[in-house]
Structures are given as C-alpha cells and as structure tokens.
Amino acid sequence: MRPNLTPDAPPPAAQEVTPEIEALVRQTIGAELRRAFLPEFAPGENLDLVVRTVRNIYIRLVERGHASDYWRSEAPPDAVPPLWATVAKSVDWLDTKNGTGDHETAMRLMKLGEEVGEVMQAYIGTQGQNPRKGITHTRADVAAELCDVILTAAVALHRFTDDPAETLDHHAERVGRRIDQIRAW
C-alpha cells in the first residue's frame, strides 16, 4: 500500500514502517531535494508519525521551493557556518528586544533548561511512556529538540565570551585530548 504523502491527505491507519515504505518516503522527498538529509526512521515506528514528518518536509518544500538553499549547504569556504550565523541573528534580535542585563542572561539560561525538558518530552513520546497518549514523537522529533538545545546553549554562550565559536572549538579540543588520554591507558 502506497501512503499518500501530500499535505491534504487524510491520516493513514497506524502501521509499522517497513523497508519498502521507508524507501518510498525517501524516494518521494529525495526526488524533490536531490540531496536531502532525512531522519532515520526506526523499525516499528508508526507510519502516521513518519507521514507527519514527511508532510512537514513537503510543506517546507512548497513554502521555500524545491531548489531552496534551505536544504543545501553549498556555502563558500569563508562563510560563517550556519550554526553561528543563526546564533548571531538570534543574539542580535534578543539583545534588541530584551536588553543585555543580568535578568536577560538568567532568562537565556532558563530557556536552555526548558529546551532540555522538551528533549525529554519528545523522548518519552517515542517510548509511548504515557499510556493515555501512546507514541507521540519520532526519533526525528528528538533530534530536532536536541538541535534546539544546541542553538539555545550557543545563544547563552554569547553572554559569557566574546568569541563563542572559538570558545566552543577550544573546549571541544580539550575534551578530545582528555578522551585520547583516557583511551591510551
């Protein structure tokens, strides 16, 4: 059975994702995007959740066009990485709207805690832990929430260093060296 992946289609009956259905989903979206990042769908995830994810991608395609740069990363080598460009926009917007005082710093740190809570909510939703709700999220939802945590942390990092990208790179290198030392034992 081929699911209807268009945004106005009625929701399908719940069924498990088979390799054939996953291939169809990837073919349908991949044909539009040519080179697309698609989330991994775990065996056993409900098809209706997969179809919702694909519909969201389809809607973005309709809104932005199939050849949109939103889906590609072909930036020149000297361009600011998308993470830090987005973080800089967010910081500028928040600083303009909310100011830069101690209260705003506290709000950004609390926002980070809120985002972590959303990760947990999404993960619980993938497990169907709440019997009243059942399975409400996909692995892709958890991944998106984790990305929100990373972005929110990067925005908060701006409050404590003049060069957050360099600070993060330096910290990652230190952690990498520690891992190498531990593995060498």
Domain ranges, ordered by start, for the chain: 19-71, 82-184
Question: Is residue 6 over pLDDT 90?
Answer: no
DSSP annotation string for the chain: -PPP-STTSPPPPP-BPPHHHHHHHHHHHHHHHSS---PPPPTT-BHHHHHHHHHHHHHHHHHH-TT-GGG-----TTSPPHHHHHHHHHHHHHHHHH-SSHHHHHHHHHHHHHHHHHHHHHHHHHHT-STTT-----HHHHHHHHHHHHHHHHHHHTTT-S-HHHHHHHHHHHHHHHHHHHHH-
Looking at the DSSP bridge assignments, the partners of residue 139 are none
CA dist., res. 143 & res. 39, Å (int): 8
110-148 confidence digits (pLDDT tens): 999 999 999 999 999 999 999 999 999 999 999 999 999
Q: pLDDT tens-digit profile of 144-179?
A: 999 999 999 999 999 999 999 999 999 999 999 999
